[in-house]
Amino acid sequence: MKKLMEQMAEELSAAFEKSGYDPSYGKVTVSNRPDLCEFQCNGAMAGAKAYKKAPFMIADDVVAYLKDSQVFSMAEVVKPGFINLKVKGEFLADYLKEMAADEKLSVSAAKEPKTIIIDYGGPNVAKPLHVGHLRSAIIGESIKRIGRFVGHKVIGDVHLGDWGLQMGLIITELKHRKPELVYFDDSYTGEYPEEAPFTISELEEIYPCASGKSKEDEAYRNEALEATHLLQQGKPGYMALWNHIMNVSVTDLKRNYDKLNVSFDLWKKESDAQPYIPGMVEEMKEKGFAYVDQGALVVDVKEENDTKEIPPCMLLKSDGASLYTTTDLATIVERMKLFDPDEILYVVDKRQELHFIQVFRCARKTGLVKDDTKLSFLGFGTMNGKDGKPFKTREGGVMRLETLIKDINEEMFTKIVENRSVKDKDAKETAEIVGLSAIKYGDLSNQATKDYIFDIDRFTSFEGNTGPYILYTIVRIKSILNRFAEEGGNLEAGTILDPVNDSQKNLMLQLTGFGATVENAFEEKAPHKICAYIYEVSNAFNSFYHETKILSEENEAQKASFIQLLKLTKKVLETCIDLLGFSAPDRM
């Protein structure tokens, strides 16, 4: 269905054309003076020079053709030539009826659906998820959901880091602690144990210990580098340990991502790209792209118009070992072979921008992707504490994601119990639902590229621009609809009628913006636009609720109209929070 703004623009364009002017001047925008009008058209100002006429004269001509408009209840000229507009209540009600009947609530399906891979996880195995992993997961999950809603085939890939030095460090530390394990016996030819020789807790302690040792002991670091190299060469005992590390880590990662309501279609790993590396490197050499520089194999990626130095893209170190660059390029080869995507989008910390500039340029220059394959980088800002520095624990360490979720849930549980709105047995589950909204909305309401302050007190508040406030609004609507049904009302009866007051009309106008908001949020990869939208809708609903007697309305047709408007408001809000990756409880 056509957007409200499109229908208004058609009406204005027709009036411009009938007046003898170019119809392209009939663009309509939301008014920047809501005290005077709802929408405005500035086309007469733009056309004044072309037609050598005063803007107000052009505007007068156009408005004369809007007197009998089925769309506008008001169209008046304000000097020097603005056209102020108000929409007819009947036209607005008809639009919302059509919107309510539309499965996608006025969102237009993509004319050319694309296959898009989103790389939005990126944790290293054998390490617990920490707050630094939060933004990639939350932003990527939301963009995936929005993309699917507008009709694209979107594939989410966690892309695990499982092939770097951390593996060599873990294997080395295990060898020092338990040299008797069969994995370290080169003469062993039997089956390796099915059960891992460590738990997730032990694994999470082993890595930082090994990492610390490698920074102080060069011999230990060299041993770990050699272990990494042997693993990448396929040494059987090390491969068996790697499998254990993967199984234990991925089980724990899935459990933690589930708590965030984040899911991936693919649990691909750096190691999955390894088989593609030899052929990729050989082809780059044969085509003359790759050359040896100080022992390392590199590809030049600088361009003439660069304003800063872009170093060569390194494929192999002097000892033949691959790097993140190599596995990222080989992963592109794998993705093109398996999925032939139209776009690959990386949702990654913005501090990795140079790395992705090198990778994208190298992939294009060497023909790893088609000319029309889009490679995109959405670099997000840092999540900071109230001191403006990267979020830490009270002790100054990096906070585990599990701990952050637990702290938020406890804060929400306390507030819900104090509010006494939910029975004790349901309070814990409700706190987890509302807690997730606090975390996700707190993050997504900020523009992804910017740093932001993670303020638990503000994010868990039931007032202001927060997740709990949005959920409170939805729960309020649910409560009204439930009461109506309990009192014998028919939720399916009636239709949306003309607004009876300004607050109802404002709510109705806000609802019409859903389609354009969702489409624009995907186009710009900007979930914060959906947050801004549902905050406006929630404010508009709460104003309407406080100014209007809904359930005590004596006119049954009018009451039924209010109920249908509430149902649409609820559907719009619930669809939006699902696109953001969280849901609403029945009570709060």
pLDDT at 154: 98
pLDDT at 397: 75
Distance CA 65, CA 14 (A): 9
**What is the DSSP secondary structure assignment for residue 190, as one 8-state letter?**
S
Q: In what order do the strands lie in the sheet with 296-299?
A: 290-293, 296-299, 313-316
Distance CA 324, CA 330 (A): 10
Kindly state the helix (H) or strand (E) to which residue 413 belongs, with its residue range. helix 401-419
User: Residue 117: which pLDDT band, with cuts at 50, 70 and 90?
Assistant: very high
Distance CA 442, CA 453 (A): 9
What would the two tokens of residue 279 be? 């052929």
Mark whether 62 and 171 lie in a shared domain.
no
Mark whether 82 and 169 lie in a shared domain.
no
pLDDT at 426: 85
Q: In Å, how far are 32, 417, 459 from 413, measured between CA atoms?
A: 41, 6, 14
Each residue of 356-366: pLDDT tens digit? 999 999 999 99
CATH number for the domain that contains residue 34: 3.30.1360.70
Identify the bridge partners of residue 157 per DSSP, sorted by sequence position: 119, 266
- Give Cβ neighbours of residue 308 (< 8 Å, ≥ 6 apart): none
Residue 531 domain flag: yes
Mark whether 76 and 170 lie in a shared domain.
no
Kindly state the helix (H) or strand (E) to which residue 412 belongs, with its residue range. helix 401-419
Mark whether 466 and 554 lie in a shared domain.
yes
Last residue of a domain, one of 243, 259, 275: 259
Q: Compute the mean pLDDT over every residue in the chain, rounded to the nearest whole number.
A: 95
Is residue 336 within 8 Å of 273, Cβ to Cβ?
no
3-state secondary structure 343-368: EEEEEEEHHHHHHHHHHHHHHHHCCC
Residue 356 CA to chain centroid, in angstroms? 19
Is residue 416 within 8 Å of 588, Cβ to Cβ?
yes
Indicate the range of 84-98, 121-135, 187-201, 247-261 predicted with least confidence: 121-135
Last residue of a domain, one of 259, 290, 309: 259
Distance CA 155, CA 143 (A): 11
Each residue of 227-247: pLDDT tens digit? 998 998 899 999 999 999 999
Number of domains in the chain: 3
Whether the predicted pLDDT of 10 surpasses 90: yes
What are the strands, taking DSSP E only, across 445-565? 452-453
Which pTM value belongs to this model? 0.94
Backbone phi and psi for residue 335, each to the nearest 5 degrees, phi listed first? -65, -40
Mark whether 417 and 537 lie in a shared domain.
yes
Q: In Å, how far are 35, 70, 86, 493, 517 from 91, measured between CA atoms?
A: 21, 7, 11, 21, 21
Residue 410 domain flag: yes
Mark whether 62 and 186 lie in a shared domain.
no
Residue 480 domain flag: yes
Each residue of 479-503: pLDDT tens digit? 999 999 999 999 999 999 999 999 9
Mark whether 415 and 558 lie in a shared domain.
yes
Residue 92 domain flag: no
Identify the bridge partners of residue 378 per DSSP, sorted by sequence position: 347
Last residue of a domain, one of 87, 102, 134: 87
Residue 355 domain flag: no
What are the strands, taking DSSP E only, across 102-163? 115-119, 153-157
Mark whether 428 and 572 lie in a shared domain.
yes
Is residue 326 within 8 Å of 315, Cβ to Cβ?
yes
Whether the predicted pLDDT of 19 surpasses 80: yes
Kindly state the helix (H) or strand (E) to which residue 75 belongs, with its residue range. strand 72-78
Each residue of 333-381: pLDDT tens digit? 999 999 999 999 999 999 999 999 999 999 999 999 999 999 999 999 9
Q: In Å, how far are 298, 368, 375 from 311, measured between CA atoms?
A: 10, 20, 19
Whether the predicted pLDDT of 422 surpasses 80: no
Distance CA 45, CA 520 (A): 27
Residue 28 domain flag: yes
CATH number for the domain that contains residue 551: 1.10.730.10
Mark whether 170 and 49 lie in a shared domain.
no
Mark whether 80 and 172 lie in a shared domain.
no
Mark whether 562 and 430 lie in a shared domain.
yes
How much is the average pLDDT of 304-310?
Answer: 93
How much is the average pLDDT of 309-318?
Answer: 95
Residue 112 domain flag: no
Kindly state the helix (H) or strand (E) to which residue 425 belongs, with its residue range. helix 424-444
Residue 565 domain flag: yes
Mark whether 170 and 77 lie in a shared domain.
no
pLDDT at 544: 98
* Domain that residue 215 falls in: 165-259
